[in-house]
Each structure stands twice: as structure tokens, then as C-alpha cells.
């Protein structure tokens, strides 16, 4: 597990193509999201573990970085450690990378 700030992730995404998994609720995802991210609400993670063997690397995203960190810790307990946490979540992305992104 790695932890990236929004600025570091923005730079990383210029040269890498991890799969972006947003673990927020649908209503949150409808307000704002990182381009290319896929919605997979936190509560669905245990039933979708096979998804985390489809790509070499995953960025886990939530509102402030807390739910995503919980998901990453759960995945690590399942032997899945090819993850990156977006520290500060979409709130940090809106503040530091995309100031046009809606916030809530």
C-alpha cells in the first residue's frame, strides 16, 4: 500500500495507468469524481474481491481518504497489496489539482 497526495497522484497519472476505484456512495460519485474512476461502494468490496486481481495497480478513492484507507487495510488482510490511497480524497483533489471540481 502506498499513500499519495493529490498532487503526487496527478503527476503519477501522467505516466501510469492504475485502475481508479471510488468507494463512495452513488450520490457522492454523482457530485464529483476523478476522470476514469469506477464506482464501487465500500459495502460491495467484500463481494468483489476478484476485481482486485484484474489490474496490476489500484488507486482507492473516497471523500477525505478515510474510507479508502479502511478499504485498503481490508484488502491487505485479503492478501491484496497493489493499492494506492489518495490521501485527502476527492476533497484534496478539488483543492489541489482541479479547482473546478464541485465539492460537498
Q: Which of 62, 69, 71, 90 is catalytic?
A: 62
User: Is 62 considered catalytic here?
Assistant: yes
C-alpha distances (whole Å) from 54 to each of 21, 25, 48 are 12, 22, 11
pLDDT, residue 69, reads: 97
User: What is each CA distance from 95 to 37, 49, 82, in whole angstroms?
Assistant: 18, 31, 26
Q: Given this structure, which CATH class describes domain 2-96? A: alpha beta
Query: By CB neighbour count within 10 A (0-12 exposed, 13-18 middle, 19+ buried), where does 5 fall?
Result: middle
List the domain boundaries for the chain. Answer: 2-96
pLDDT for 7-25, tens place per residue? 999 999 999 999 999 999 9
**Chain segment 48-104, per-residue pLDDT in tens:** 999 999 999 999 999 999 999 999 999 999 999 999 999 999 999 999 999 999 999
List C-alpha distances in Å: 30 to 27, 45, 56, 86: 5, 19, 27, 19
Amino acid at each position: 500500500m502506498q499513500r499519495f497526495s493529490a498532487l503526487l497522484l496527478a503527476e503519477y497519472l501522467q505516466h501510469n495507468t492504475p485502475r481508479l476505484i471510488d468507494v463512495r456512495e452513488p450520490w457522492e460519485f454523482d457530485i464529483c469524481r476523478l476522470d476514469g474512476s469506477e464506482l464501487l461502494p465500500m459495502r460491495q468490496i467484500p463481494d468483489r474481491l476478484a476485481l482486485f486481481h484484474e489490474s496490476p495497480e489500484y488507486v482507492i478513492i473516497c471523500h477525505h481518504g478515510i474510507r479508502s484507507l479502511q478499504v485498503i487495510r481490508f484488502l491487505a488482510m485479503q492478501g491484496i497489496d497493489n493499492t494506492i490511497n489518495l490521501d485527502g480524497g476527492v476533497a484534496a483533489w478539488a483543492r489541489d489539482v482541479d479547482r473546478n471540481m464541485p465539492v460537498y
